[in-house]
Amino acid sequence: MNINGQTKIYGIFGYPVSHTLSPAMHNAAFEKLKINAVYVPFDVRPDKIKTAISSLASLGIGGVNLTMPYKEICLPYLHEVSKEAKLIGAVNTILVGQDGKLKGFNTDGIGFVTALRKQLRYDPKGRSVFIMGAGGAGKAVAVQFALEGAKQIFVVDIQKSRAHKLVVSLKRNIHHVRVKAIPCVKKEIERTIADTDILINATPMGMKESDQVIFEPQALHNKIVVCDLIYNPPMTKLLKYAKSKRLRHMNGLGMLLHQGAAAFGIWTQKQAPVDVMQKALEREIASQKH
């Protein structure tokens, strides 16, 4: 990579951000398409996020991704927000316009659905979905499923108010979908799983080996599709449950890949080289194991 005075800078704001795999896939894509650009991680402290976002244009940065805990906090600092990001109430991609205006997008939902279609040949239309977690990622997936024509959406969150807020927003903005908040109680969760086509974990539960799954494996019926937005570790306890029952399942790596490809397109107006980005991600994961 040859960095010079014309090199465009892109990156990711998070705290912490040392674990991110995004630089590997974006830099591989820039190299493949011979774009003079570099993607770097920025470890931004929470008390500095307003300053960091406000400084993007003056530093000549072309755009950034946002990860935890900034997807919702960033909204007041942007000049414009896309329709999907408004519905979700969270932004994971900022484009810095030529006029210096900051526009927020959310590519998480479309990234997840693209992965679902490509990896599992599964279409959200007419499906009943149960989403565990109503944070930034959970909201993105819920909104995208509603836009794609899901039949009904169940949501559970340890913070009851968060699930309720998402349900109210979906009912107000997308009228054709049935949506319901479920109490965070084992029996209720297991009852809901029985009435679900696809189960999605959008919580951090599963990142640590000691994390427990909130329901019994027997609750997973034979036709349910199981997805976990976590990609490290690649096989969480939830996905191990699914695999042991020979259910179709998917971790969050495909979502990471396809949300990144969508962000790349927003920044460069070019078709992202998805195969190149995927190989870069796989290489990076393999190198972290050694």
Mean pLDDT of the chain: 95
Minimal CA–CA distance to 220: which of 232, 238, 202?
238
Name the CATH superfamily for 123-247. Answer: NAD(P)-binding Rossmann-like Domain (3.40.50.720)
What gap in Å lies between CA 124 and CA 65, rounded to an integer? 26
Whole-number pLDDT of residue 290? 53
Query: Does residue 231 or residue 259 have the better pLDDT?
Result: 259
Please state the rounded mean pLDDT for residues 137-144: 95
What gap in Å lies between CA 220 and CA 194, rounded to an integer? 7
Assign 59 to helix, strand or coil: coil
Contact in structure between 259 and 107 (CB atoms under 8 Å): yes
Rg of the chain (C-alpha set): 19
- Sequence-distant (6+) residues with CB within 8 A of 11 are 23, 39, 40, 41, 42, 61, 64, 65
Predicted confidence (pLDDT) at residue 225 exceeds the cutoff of 60? yes
CB hemisphere CA count around 81 (13 angstroms):
17
Active-site position among 48, 71, 118, 243: 71
Please state the rounded mean pLDDT for residues 5-34: 95
Whole-number pLDDT of residue 229? 96
Contact in structure between 200 and 140 (CB atoms under 8 Å): no
Contact in structure between 39 and 23 (CB atoms under 8 Å): yes
Whole-number pLDDT of residue 289? 67
Q: Are strands 102-105 and 93-96 parallel, antiparallel or unpaired?
A: antiparallel
Please state the rounded mean pLDDT for residues 181-191: 96
Whether 71 is catalytic? yes
CATH topology of domain 8-107+254-288: Rossmann fold (3.40.50)
Q: Give the pLDDT band (50/70/90) at residue 287.
A: confident
Residue spans per domain, the chain: 8-107+254-288, 123-247
Peptide linkage before 16 cis (omega within 30 of 0):
yes
Whole-number pLDDT of residue 1? 72
Please state the rounded mean pLDDT for residues 144-171: 96
Return the beta strands (E) in the chain as ranges. 8-14, 37-43, 61-66, 80-81, 93-96, 102-105, 128-132, 152-156, 178-181, 198-201, 225-228, 249-250
Peptide linkage before 233 cis (omega within 30 of 0):
yes
Minimal CA–CA distance to 62: which of 97, 92, 35, 27?
97
Please state the rounded mean pLDDT for residues 40-66: 97
Whole-number pLDDT of residue 59? 96
What residue type is 46 in one-letter code?
Answer: P
Say what percent of the chain tops pLDDT 70.
99
Whole-number pLDDT of residue 209? 84
How crowded is residue 260: how many other Cβ atoms within 10 Å of its Cβ? 28
Q: Give CA angle at 241 (208, 67), nearest 5°.
A: 40
What residue type is 202 in one-letter code?
Answer: A
pLDDT digits (tens, 9 = 90+) for 70-88: 998 999 999 999 999 999 9
What gap in Å lies between CA 197 and CA 202, rounded to an integer? 16
**Strand order from edge to edge, sheet including 80-81:** 37-43, 8-14, 61-66, 93-96, 102-105, 80-81
